[in-house]
Chains A and B, each alone.
Chain A
Amino acid sequence: MKLPIYLDYSATTPIDPRVAEKMIQCMTPDGNFGNPASRSHAFGWHAEEAVEEARKNVAALVNCDPREIVWTSGATESDNLAIKGAAQFYQKKGKHIITCKTEHKAVLDTCRQLERDGFEVTYLAPETNGLIDLKKLEAAIRDDTILISIMHVNNEIGVIQDIEAIGEMTRPRKIIFHVDAAQSAGKVAIDLQKAKVDLMSFSAHKIYGPKGMGALFVRRKPRIRLEAQMHGGGHERGMRSGTLATHQIVGMGEAFRIAKEEMATENERFRALRDRLLNGFKDMEEVYINGDMEHRITGNLNISFNYVEGESLLMALKDLAISSGSACTSASLEPSYVLRALGRDDELAHSSLRFTIGRFTTEEEIDYTIEQVRKNVDKLRELSPLWDMYKDGIDLKSIQWAAH
């Protein structure tokens, strides 16, 4: 077993060696290095073929038409293009947008920018399990609502929103529905023939493809129009100019092809590993799972060890690559906005760890993780005055703490 152990697959994944192999074939003088936009020679034609093959593979995973896939530099760009592009194009119809407080910053900050540009945004609070109450969503819809943006799977807690049900709400009202699927593609079955989603963002590096590569699904029927955010040579039907990065695109295509083939068996394996991890903590006191366990991707476990601060725990777990919702891991000093939006007490947010399991995780690694976490939680609780108070039966909420 090699240390440190990587359990942060929601942050990024390594490129699958099969993907890397394909990418390398599109770089060097002997390879398929041409500009896919070159129409006058075989280098261009071959590159274009590879790009279109990749487009088919991406489309196949989510059951859409390849012509509905627009290449981008990543899910952040896809989110920007979808939200700004749709808002700008349809602003004459209305200027109201609905999203959720637990969205990725690529959606939230894009919405903030639109607010500065005169749009009005409703940020829905999720329920305590991280899921959106569809009735509350419906109640937030107004006559001037033009766009709803809801992520499929949350990056921190892994919960899966019911995008099919939301699509049933938006389509009859002719509201554009954007879904950030960066964390769901390849992990949850997506059928864009069924789900009435109009725009969907994808990332390559979350499913063993290269970083710096993504795609946006733009529905053709009914046709969704976007104001381009990147102007130039008119690539990608004018929606996103810029020379296509053949090797990156081929990498994303191969990653999506493998995901389609292996998703079902992989999910079974992840579930077993995740349950093994969770079972390893079951008999510990004051352990809380963040987010719904049923509507959740198999590879995610977000858990709070009460009375232990997350960053100090991460420091102790130096052989584990995991992340914490504690403020201290970032420069902001605010604990995870996602956990706060669930109504979690700040101390529980500060005590949270996110484990994300992936393609190369082994049972042995999970067992080692359990052992390390248990040992260090115990050690830090021995150091914690809050643990003492809990053991003495003192209600921490009864104490007047001085916020600082």
Chain B
Amino acid sequence: MAYSEKVLEHYENPRNVGTMDKDDNHVGTGMVGAPACGDVMKLQIKVNDDGVIEDAKFKTYGCGSAIASSSLLTEWVKGKTLEEAGQIKNTEIAEELALPPVKIHCSVLAEDAIKAAIDDYQTKKK
């Protein structure tokens, strides 16, 4: 399978790989996917008191497109408010990375990951 330049670039140089303290009240963690399906994404966001995402980290088990989708997502969400970040659509990720139809699920997973991270953060705040 041929990968787009952008997928390759993110795959070779993934941005924001890492882990944050999931017990920190400012950190929201989303983990989506399943090992049996061949991809698991863990996305963490650090949110400041103004509701802006200051930092984002990811770890992904999956194909190159899944890794690229999560890497791209961490770049996009930084500096966004939770509301803005929650509006990121999988189609935008798929388009940016020129994912072929068989890899669209990778971008869906990335969208699910940011939503899950936001949910986790908001649940903690309550």
Contact = CB atoms under 8 A, between A and B. Distances in A.
A311 B64 contact: yes
A315 B102 contact: no
Nearest to B42: A385
A296 interface: no
B1 A329 contact: yes
A323 to B, nearest CB: 12
A327 B61 contact: no
B69 to A, nearest CB: 12
B27 to A, nearest CB: 15
B59 A384 contact: yes
A100 B31 CA distance: 38
A384 B14 CA distance: 12
Contact of A347 (B19, B35, B64, B109): B35
Contacts of B39: 309
B76 interface: no
A388 B64 contact: no
Given A383-B17, A384-B61, A403 B36 contact: yes
Interface in A70-93: none
A384 B35 CA distance: 11
B111 to A, nearest CB: 12
Contacts of B37: 346, 403-404
Give the dominant DSSP class at A's interface.
helix
B80 to A, nearest CB: 23
B86 interface: no
B79 interface: no
A190 B31 CA distance: 52
Contacts of B66: 309, 312
A377 interface: no
Interface in B39-79: 39-42, 59-64, 66-67
B33 A309 contact: no
Interface residues on A, range: 20 to 34
A385 B41 CA distance: 7
Contacts of A346: 35-38
Contact of A309 (B17, B62, B109): B62
B38 A386 contact: no
Contacts of B33: 401-402, 404
A69 B95 CA distance: 55
Interface residues on B, range: 20 to 34
A383 to B, nearest CB: 6
Contacts of A335: 38
A220 to B, nearest CB: 47
Contact of A350 (B19, B38, B42, B60): B38
Contacts of B36: 345-347, 350, 401, 403
A396 interface: yes
A404 B34 contact: yes
Give the dominant DSSP class at B's interface.
mixed
Contacts of B109: 404
A329 B1 CA distance: 7
Interface in A383-404: 383-388, 396, 401-404
Contact of B38 (A327, A383, A384): A327
A270 interface: no
Interface in B15-41: 17, 19, 31-41
Nearest to B116: A402
B34 A312 contact: no
B34 A315 contact: no
B41 A312 contact: no
A337 to B, nearest CB: 14
Nearest to B3: A315
A386 B35 contact: yes
Contact of B31 (A307, A345, A385, A387): A385
A3 interface: no
A360 B1 CA distance: 26
Contacts of B11: 312, 315
B6 interface: no
Given A307-B61, A347-B35, A382 B40 contact: no
B38 to A, nearest CB: 4
Nearest to B41: A385
Interface in A333-381: 333, 335, 345-347, 350
A188 B28 CA distance: 57
Interface of A: 307-309, 311-312, 315, 326-329, 331, 333, 335, 345-347, 350, 382-388, 396, 401-404
30 contacts: A308-B61, A309-B38, A309-B39, A309-B61, A309-B63, A311-B38, A311-B64, A312-B11, A312-B62, A312-B64, A315-B3, A315-B64, A326-B38, A328-B63, A331-B102, A346-B36, A346-B37, A346-B38, A347-B38, A350-B38, A383-B60, A384-B61, A385-B40, A385-B61, A388-B59, A396-B35, A401-B33, A402-B34, A403-B37, A404-B109
